[in-house]
Amino acid sequence: FRGKKHNIAVAYQCNRDVLYNGLNKQEEKINRLAVNARIIYNKGLLEYIPQQNGYLLDLDATVTRICTALQEGHTTVDAAIIPLYPAVKIEDIRSVKDIIGAYAAAGLSEAVVQQTQQLNGTIIMPGQILTFPAKEENPPPGMEKAMNAIIRACEEAGLKIVSPASAPKLVIQNNLTDPVLISIIMCDGTMQIKALGCQTEPGKKIHLTTEEQEVPPQVKLKTDKSLQPHERVIKQQGKPGTVVRTYRLVTVKGKVVEKTLLAQEMHPGIDTIIYEGAHALIK
Amino acid identity of residue 174, one-letter, is N
Amino acid identity of residue 130, one-letter, is L
Q: Is residue 47 part of a domain?
A: yes
Phi/psi of residue 46, each to 5°?
A: -110, 125
The answer to whether residue 58 scores a pLDDT higher than 90 is: yes
Distance CA 127, CA 176 (A): 7
115 and 31 in a common domain: no
232 and 120 in a common domain: yes
Q: Is residue 251 part of a domain?
A: yes
212 and 76 in a common domain: no
Question: What is the reported pLDDT for 279?
Answer: 64
Percent of the chain with pLDDT over 70: 92
The residues facing 210 across adjacent strands are: 246
Residue range 125-130: average pLDDT?
92
Confidence tier at 126 by pLDDT (50, 70, 90): very high
Q: Is residue 4 part of a domain?
A: no
Residue ending a domain, among 40, 55, 90, is 90
Q: Which of 102-106, 139-143, 226-230 has the highest mean pLDDT?
A: 102-106
173-198: pLDDT as tens digits: 999 999 999 999 988 789 999 999 99
Q: Is residue 86 part of a domain?
A: yes
Residue range 212-224: average pLDDT?
89
99 and 232 in a common domain: yes
Residue range 95-110: average pLDDT?
91
Which residue range forms the structural domain that includes residue 142? 95-276
Q: How many residues does the chain have?
A: 283
Residue ending a domain, among 59, 90, 121, is 90
Distance CA 1, CA 3 (A): 6
Which residues make Cβ contacts (< 8 Å) with residue 195, sequence separation at least 6? 99, 100, 101, 102, 153, 154, 156, 157, 159, 180, 181, 182, 183
Question: What is the reported pLDDT for 165?
Answer: 58
**CA angle, corner 97, sides to 96 and 100, nearest 5?**
85
Q: Is residue 7 part of a domain?
A: no
Question: What is the reported pLDDT for 267?
Answer: 87
DSSP 168-221: SSEEEE--SSS-EEEEEEEETTEEEEEEEE---STTEEEEEEEEEEEEPPPEEE
120 and 170 in a common domain: yes
**Cβ proximity of 244 and 212 under 8 Å:** yes
Indicate the number of domains in the chain. Answer: 2
The answer to whether residue 124 scores a pLDDT higher than 60 is: yes
The answer to whether residue 282 scores a pLDDT higher than 60 is: no
Question: What is the reported pLDDT for 280?
Answer: 46
The answer to whether residue 255 scores a pLDDT higher than 50 is: yes
Question: What is the reported pLDDT for 194?
Answer: 93
Distance CA 131, CA 167 (A): 11
Q: Which residue has the higher pLDDT, 138 or 222?
A: 222
Distance CA 193, CA 195 (A): 7
**Cβ proximity of 193 and 170 under 8 Å:** no
Q: Is residue 283 part of a domain?
A: no
The answer to whether residue 203 scores a pLDDT higher than 70 is: yes
